[in-house]
Structure formats: structure tokens, C-alpha cells
């Protein structure tokens, strides 16, 4: 899956604050994500993240 730094991931399950959009700060074997609503940052393994992605929003896409 092609996930880049700066992408916004729309997740299947929401964060405890209620938001389901996460900003990608770093990608590799792990992702460093920031919740768009509460700005909490966390690291999560790549395989767990990729299973939970519903949609990827990019800077150049029309749907942002």
C-alpha cells in the first residue's frame, strides 16, 4: 500500500477522541500518526495500520 508522509488516513475504527482521520508523520515498518482532532501522536505497526485504513486523502487529490 502506498502511504506517504503528509497523507491523511481515514480509518475504519475511530480514535478514542471520536475522530477517524490521522495525519501520517512518518512511514516505514511503523507509522507515526497524529490524530487530526486531538493532535495526539502515536506509533503503530504497519500491518495493523494497513488493515484499518478505509481511505487515503492526498494533497493533490480532488476529494481533500
- For the segment 1-60, what is each residue's pLDDT rounded down to a tens digit? 889 999 999 999 999 999 999 999 999 999 999 999 999 999 999 999 999 999 999 876
Number of domains in the chain: 1
Q: pLDDT tier at 62 (50, 70, 90 boundaries)? A: low
Helices (H) and strands (E) in the chain, counts: 1, 5
Q: What is the pLDDT of residue 1?
A: 81
The CATH number of whichever domain residue 36 belongs to comes to: 2.30.30
Domain holding 32, by residue range, is: 8-57
Helix (H, G, I), strand (E, B) or coil at 8: strand
CA–CA distance, 46 with 32 (Å, rounded to integer) = 10
Residue recorded with cell 480532488 = 62
| pTM of the predicted structure, to 2 decimals | 0.86
Amino acid at each position: 500500500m502506498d502511504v506517504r508522509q503528509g497523507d491523511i488516513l481515514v480509518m475504519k475504527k475511530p480514535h478514542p477522541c471520536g475522530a477517524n482521520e490521522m495525519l501520517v508523520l512518518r512511514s516505514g515498518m511503523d507509522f507515526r500518526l497524529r490524530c487530526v482532532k486531538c493532535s495526539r501522536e502515536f506509533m503503530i505497526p504497519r500491518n495493523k495500520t494497513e488493515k484499518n485504513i478505509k481511505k487515503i486523502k492526498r494533497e493533490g487529490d480532488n476529494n481533500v
